[in-house]
C-alpha cells in the first residue's frame, strides 16, 4: 500500500523524519515523499534530509515565492498530478503551511484519505495564514493525529464529534525527534565552538512569522528589545530566515546582535541545548526549548501551546520591547521548574505509524 507524504518547510522535514523512520518497520507500506519546494534554500531544506537520514523526496515541485494564492494554487496542481499517478491509499500532511493545505485539498478532491499530523492546534487569530491553513486542513481530514489533549478539546468544541473523522491522541513527533537526535547532534555539530559561544551564556532567537516580519513597527520593536538584551544582559544569536533578512535590510532596521545564516537541525539543536533561554515566534521552537529544559519568551500575542504558558515554561511577550526585556530578566533569575509529561514522551511516531498500518489494512480504507 502506498502513502504520499507532503512536505515543504523546515518543521515538516523534522516531523517527517520521525514518521518515515517508524514506517520502515511496516513492510506492507511504501511511502513516497513529495517536496513542494516551499523552503528551497539549502540551509532550510536539503541539509535536513542529509543530516536526519530522511529518504530523498521522490518528487520535487520547486514551487516557492509569490503570494499565498499563487503558491498554493501551483502546489495544488502539482500534487494533484502526483496523486493521480500514484493512486495512494492515503495522503499524509503535517502542520499548517501552504504545502499542508494544498496537499489536503488535492487529496480530498480526488477522494483520497487525508491524514493530518499535528491536528487541532488553534491560536484563535484568524489573521495568521497558518491558522486558516490548519482549520481547513482539519475540517477535511479523515484522521487527525493530535499532539495534546488541548488540541483534542479544540476539535471537540468545533463539533468534530459530529464529523466523519477519527481523532487520535498521538503525542508530539517533535519530542521524538529531539530525544532521538540530541546525542548525534552533540557529536556532529561544532557550531557553539565555531561561533565562540559560552555554554549557557547566550540567548537564541528566531523571527520569521508574517505577523512580525510584515509589520515594520512590530519587527522594529522586537529587534530594539533584543538589542537591549544583547547590550545589557546576554549576547543574542539570530539564525535569520532569508526573507526576514531582506525585510530588515529594506527598512534599514539596526541590529546590534549577532546574525548568522539559517542552520540545519543538528546545529539548531546544539544552539538550543547550550542557550540560556530562547526568544522566538516559532511554534516548534517553543516546544524544543521545553524539551531541552530551556525557558522560552514567545514573540507573539498568543500561542497554540498554551500548556507551556500555563506551566510557567513559556511567556508571551508580543512585540513590545519592554515586555521582552522583562521576561528575559525574570527567566534568567528563575531555575527551570520540574517538568510534567505534556507531549507523549517520545512515542508519537510509533503510535502514528501503527495506526496508519491498521487504517490501510482495513476494508474501509482499502483502495
Task: With CA atoms as reference, report the closest residue to 116 among 87, 132, 130, 95.
Answer: 95
Q: Rounded to an integer, what distance in angstroms lies between the CA atom of residue 299 and that of residue 205?
A: 9
Distance CA 331, CA 326 (A): 9
Specify whether the CB–CB gap between 117 and 15 falls below 8 A. yes
22-41 exposure pattern, b = at least 16 Cβ within 10 A, e = fewer = bbeebeebebbbbbbbbbbe
Sign of CA dihedral 116, 118, 120, 122: negative
Residue 144, all three cell numbers: 487527525
Which of 63, 42, 51, 69 shows the shortest CA–CA distance to 14?
51
Q: At what angle do helices 265-274 and 173-188 cross, to 10 degrees?
A: 90
- How far CA 304 is from CA of 118, 152, 210, 229, in Å, comes to 11, 12, 16, 26
Q: Residue 159: which residues within 8 A CB-CB, separation 6 or more?
A: none
| Cβ atoms < 10 Å from Cβ of 258 | 14
Give dist(CA 237, CA 278) in Å, integer: 10
Coil/strand/helix, residue 335: coil
With both helix axes pointing from N to C terminus, report the angle between 283-291 and 265-274 in degrees, rounded to the nearest 10: 60
Specify whether 35 is catalytic.
Answer: no
> In angstroms, what is the C-alpha Rg of the chain?
20
Question: What SS3 class is residue 209?
Answer: coil
d(CA 135, CA 123): 10
Could you tell me which residues come within 8 angstroms of residue 362 by beta carbon, excluding any fewer than 6 positions away? Answer: none
Cα separation, 102 vs 98, whole angstroms: 6
Give me the catalytic one of 35, 64, 116, 208.
208
Phi and psi dihedrals of 315, rounded to 5? -130, 135
| Residues marked as catalytic | 208
Amino acid at each position: 500500500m502506498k502513502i504520499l507524504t507532503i512536505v515543504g518547510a523546515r518543521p515538516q522535514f523534522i516531523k517527517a523524519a520521525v514518521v518515515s523512520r517508524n514506517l520502515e518497520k511496516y513492510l506492507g507500506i511504501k511511502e513516497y515523499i513529495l517536496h513542494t519546494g516551499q523552503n528551497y534554500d539549502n540551509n532550510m531544506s536539503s541539509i535536513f534530509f542529509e543530516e536526519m537520514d530522511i529518504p530523498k523526496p521522490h518528487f520535487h515541485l520547486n514551487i516557492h515565492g509569490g503570494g499565498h494564492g499563487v503558491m498554493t494554487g501551483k502546489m495544488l496542481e502539482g500534487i494533484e498530478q502526483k496523486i493521480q499517478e500514484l493512486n495512494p491509499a492515503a495522503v499524509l500532511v503535517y502542520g499548517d503551511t501552504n504545502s499542508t493545505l494544498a496537499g489536503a485539498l488535492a487529496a480530498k478532491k480526488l477522494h483520497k484519505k487525508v491524514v493530518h499530523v499535528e491536528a487541532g492546534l488553534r491560536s484563535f487569530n484568524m489573521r495568521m495564514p497558518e491558522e486558516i491553513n490548519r482549520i481547513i486542513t482539519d475540517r477535511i481530514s479523515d484522521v487527525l493525529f493530535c499532539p495534546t489533549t488541548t488540541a483534542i478539546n479544540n476539535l471537540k468544541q468545533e463539533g468534530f464529534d459530529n464529523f466523519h473523522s477519527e481523532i487520535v491522541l498521538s503525542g508530539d513527533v517533535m519530542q521524538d525527534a529531539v530525544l532521538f537526535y540530541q546525542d548525534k547532534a552533540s557529536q556532529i555539530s561544532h557550531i557553539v565552538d565555531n561561533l565562540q559561544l559560552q555554554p549557557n551564556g547566550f540567548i537564541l532567537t528566531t523571527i520569521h512569522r508574517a505577523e512580525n516580519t510584515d509589520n515594520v513597527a512590530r519587527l522594529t520593536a522586537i529587534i530594539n528589545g533584543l538589542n537591549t538584551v544583547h547590550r545589557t544582559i546576554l549576547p543574542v544569536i539570530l539564525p535569520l530566515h532569508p526573507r526576514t533578512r531582506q525585510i530588515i535590510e529594506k527598512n534599514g532596521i539596526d541590529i546590534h546582535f549577532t546574525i548568522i545564516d539559517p542552520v540545519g537541525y543538528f546545529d539548531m539543536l546544539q544552539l538550543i541545548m547550550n542557550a540560556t533561554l530562547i526568544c522566538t515566534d516559532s511554534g516548534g521552537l517553543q516546544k524544543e526549548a521545553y524539551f531541552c529544559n530551556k525557558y522560552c519568551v514567545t514573540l507573539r500575542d498568543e500561542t497554540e501551546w498554551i500548556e507551556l504558558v500555563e506551566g510557567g515554561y513559556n511567556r508571551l511577550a508580543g512585540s513590545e520591547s519592554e515586555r521582552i526585556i522583562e521576561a528575559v530578566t525574570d527567566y534568567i533569575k528563575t531555575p527551570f521548574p520540574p517538568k510534567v509529561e505534556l507531549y507523549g514522551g517520545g512515542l508519537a511516531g510509533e503510535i502514528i505509524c501503527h495506526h496508519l498500518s491498521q487504517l490501510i489494512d482495513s476494508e474501509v480504507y482499502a483502495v
